[in-house]
Amino acid sequence: MPERRVGLKGVAWPARSELDPTEAEMRYVEDATCRPVTDVASRCTCTPEVTREEPAGSAEGTWYVSVPATAEDGGTAFVPRAAAFGLTP
C-alpha cells in the first residue's frame, strides 16, 4: 500500500461537561497515529492520558469526539461531533 500523509487529531469529551472544542483549540491536541488499511483508507488511534485526580465517575454517560483532519493536499476539515458513545458503570 502506498504511504499517505494525513494529519488527524481527536479528543473525546463528556457531553455533560461544558467542553465543546473549537477548531482553533484543537491545534493543541496531540496527533493521532494513522496506518493505511487499504489504498484509500487509514485507521487512526489516539491514546488519552487519564490522571489519578480525575474522579472515577467522570467517565459515565454520553461522550462526543471532535476531529480536525488535514489531507495530503493540505485540505482541512473539522467535525465538532464526529462520533458519540456511551459509557456505563
pLDDT digits (tens, 9 = 90+) for 9-40: 888 888 988 888 999 998 888 888 888 888 88
Q: Is residue 2 part of a domain?
A: no
Range of the structural domain that residue 45 is part of: 7-51+58-87
30 DSSP 8-state letter = P
Which ranges in the chain belong to alpha helices (H)?
Answer: none
Q: Is residue 1 part of a domain?
A: no
Answer yes or no: are the C-beta atoms of 29 and 12 closer than 8 Å: no
pTM of model > 0.85:
no
Q: Is residue 77 part of a domain?
A: yes
Q: Is residue 22 part of a domain?
A: yes
Q: Is residue 36 part of a domain?
A: yes
How many domains does one find in the chain? 1
Q: Cell numbers at residue 57, please?
A: 465517575
